[in-house]
Amino acid sequence: MRDQDVVIVSAARTPIGKFQGAYKDMPATELGAQAVRAAVARAGIDGALIDECIMGNVISAGLGQAPARQAALRGGLPESVGALTINKVCGSGLKAVMLAAALIRSGEARVIVAGGMENMTRGPYLLPQARAGYRLGNGEILDAMVHDGLWCAVENHHMGMSAEWIARKLDVSREAQDAFALQSHQRAIAAQDAGRFDQEITSVEIPAPRGKTATISADEPPRRDSDAKALAGLRPAFDKDGSVTAGNAPGITDGAAALVVMSGAAARE
């Protein structure tokens, strides 16, 4: 291993929450903090050795300033550690890891925490006209989850329509999409039952009734009751003549993940 090589020394993720599920009251920054804390603990390093924390986040409305900084501090990193929030839509977390690798290769950093955090459930509603005032007529309310996370600002359409166009261009049939979706659920359930995700997941405690807490230790979205007949019966969600449905499209989910990335020299030390 060379000094300038980039090494992933630990990884951790929260269980993935479904829309309006376990994390409906937990901001993305807290989910990020849970992942950061677990990744650093698994690496077994002093937080003071970390040069920066880079976290991807898309729906930042209402989270407060510097979401990555919040996740870093709540995750137990010292104030001396800098933080950077990346928004590259679906590629935000991956870009955070790419930037970490680039900084390490360039010699600008030796140890970086990188990952992503999102709570789509908690995307707020926006009132664009509220500052100037609602005087006459009906006022617009925007869903930040859709407007900032799922709506193409360049082509002015829902990302579900992008999936429709790609399916037509590449000739991916409704049947093929449904079969892939069903297989995804079946494989996820099988992996859960076999404990294959246990090593990567860090459990999250959430508030429960009567002042108690509940522990979330497994992904919520995989469905045991999914079957081909049910998927085939769903209507297209974005185009009445389309093929993308609520059953074969990506889910609306919440969660976070983090890696500890080092230079080869730092890893040897």
25 in a structural domain: yes
202 in a structural domain: no
264 in a structural domain: yes
CATH number at residue 21: 3.40.47.10
56 in a structural domain: yes
Q: Domain range for residue 105?
A: 6-124+254-268
Helix (H, G, I), strand (E, B) or coil at 246: coil
142 in a structural domain: no
Calpha distance 95→113 (Å, rounded)? 13
Q: Indicate the length of the chain as a whole number.
A: 269
Question: In this structure, what DSSP letter does residue 86 have?
Answer: E
* pLDDT tens-place string over residues 159-203: 999 999 999 999 999 999 999 999 999 999 999 999 999 999 999
Closest residue by Cα to residue 222 from 249, 196, 251:
251
Amino acid at the residue 176: A
Number of compact structural domains in the chain: 1
- Stated pTM of the model: 0.95
166 in a structural domain: no
167 in a structural domain: no
213 in a structural domain: no
* pLDDT tens-place string over residues 97-107: 999 999 999 99
Are the beta carbons of 254 and 20 closer than 8 angstroms? no
Number of neighbouring beta carbons within 10 Å of residue 126 = 16
